[in-house]
Amino acid sequence: MSAPAPIPFIDLGPGEDEAAVRAAINRVVARGWFVLGPEVDAFEHEFAAASGAAFAIGVGSGTDAIALSLRALDIGVGDEVIVPAMTAAFTALAVIIAGATPVLVDVEPDTLTMNANACLAAVTRRTRAIVPVHLYGQPADMDAIRSVASRHALAIVEDCCQAHLATESGIPVGTRSEAAAFSFYPTKNLGGVGDGGAVITSNDAIASRIRQLRNGGQRERGNHVEAGVNSRLDDLQAAVLRARLPLLPAWTIGRRALAGRYRQLLPESLRTIRERDAGHVYHLFPVLAPERAELQAHLAAAGIDTMVHYPAALTQQPAFAAFASHECPVAVSAAGQLLSLPLSPRLTDEDIIRVADSVAAFAKGHRTA
């Protein structure tokens, strides 16, 4: 009997959106307008509406979305910005790009999102903002974080790069803060065919400033009123994202259903990340496995692809060694155990059963060894 087909971690090849994506690409090529054109304008309006915000501003990446949001709030040299130690390095790198200093704090042990008490303890007279991360698609404890921000008059820029359409207490993420950043990197829940990002905000002044900053600081063509950057969402990416955006709600439902099956089927000996809020959109489904290397090898032998997000806490990354940080034992411990199981709308219930059965077989073998 032949071996079962491999289960990829993610499949970025043509899918149900193929015809719409090809038509979108052809439309852009035929029009011949490739940067800050009508596709970008249309996508910005559509994404703002889908995200529950007044404005969306397309930029070059999720990293730029964070950095430009901070700059639009006049946060930069001499200012501190609090960032969780468990996230992609690009969250903290965006703070550095803006000219400010990242201050790394620990995360909650059950959700791995920013610990509000750790955030509070890190506030100094130089602190200007907090960048909570909705990690893996799970909203952070925003009520607690907003309490810290309110107490110390701090701005909040939400990192929603893994949290398209996520909600916290039924309210879209990013809509109760000064600004929020999204990424459209190809692997995201809403991904393009290259880099791209957006800022959402309901503050007209912030939106106008980001539009200016993303385009070289130009108020109008040829009039550079400040030192901006070149970070513009191109029309090709915008057109692809427009083709995929209508499918995102159904894809999100599918992700939640598959994640629910994992929670039903995975052995109790394997620790999963607690779902704090039903608004979780499951960009990833990580588990905490003390014997991660062995489990990953076992699954690979069964034709199941997995990934590690993230192999080191930011406090362990050389790029941030020059910046003072607080003790982050939860993030450090989790980084040594996290393993992301395959989860995407293209997987089937049978795929999830197969992954769970393979994990259970590994767990059983190690209990009896």
For residue 164, give the CATH number of its domain: 3.40.640.10
Instruction: Output the pLDDT for position 323.
Output: 87
Contact (Cβ atoms closer than 8 angstroms) between residue 354 and residue 7 = yes
Q: If you compute the radius of gyration of the chain from its CA atoms, what whole number of angstroms results?
A: 21
7 inside domain:
no
Contact of 130 with 153, CB cutoff 8 Å: no
What pLDDT was estimated at residue 222? Answer: 84
Domain co-membership, 190 together with 279: no
pLDDT per position as a tens digit, 279-313: 999 999 999 999 999 999 999 999 999 999 999 99
**46 and 195 co-located in one domain:** yes
Residue 11 lies in a domain: no
Phi first, then psi, for residue 183 (nearest 5°) are: -115, 145
Percent of the chain with pLDDT over 70: 98
Q: What are phi and psi of 199, to 5 degrees?
A: -110, 135
Query: Are 80 and 175 in the same domain?
Result: yes
Question: Does any domain span residue 122?
Answer: yes
Condensed to tens digits (0 to 9), the pLDDT of residues 192-233 reads 999 999 999 999 999 999 999 999 999 888 888 999 999 999
Provide the domain count of the chain: 2
Is 73 in the same domain as 88? yes
What is the rounded end-to-end Cα distance, in angstroms, of the chain? Answer: 29
Range of the structural domain that residue 67 is part of: 18-246
The pTM of the full predicted model, rounded to 2 decimals, is 0.96
Residue among 180, 184, 81, 72 at smallest CA distance from 134: 180
| Pair 170, 67 in one domain | yes
Please report which confidence band the pLDDT of residue 1 belongs to, taking 50, 70 and 90 as the band edges. Answer: low
Do residues 184 and 264 both lie within one domain?
A: no
153-182 mean pLDDT: 98
Residue pair 315/107 in contact by the 8 Å Cβ criterion: no
Please name the residue that has the structure tokens 């539009």.
211
The last residue of one of the domains, among 192, 224, 246, is 246
Residues 183 and 48 in one domain: yes
Indicate whether 294 and 185 sit together in one domain.
no
Same domain, 263 and 206: no
| 38 plus 78 within the same structural domain | yes
Whether 187 and 48 share a structural domain: yes
> 59-94 pLDDT, tens per residue?
999 999 999 999 999 999 999 999 999 999 999 999
CATH label of the domain that carries residue 324: 3.90.1150.10
Instruction: Note whether residue 284 is domain-resident.
Output: yes
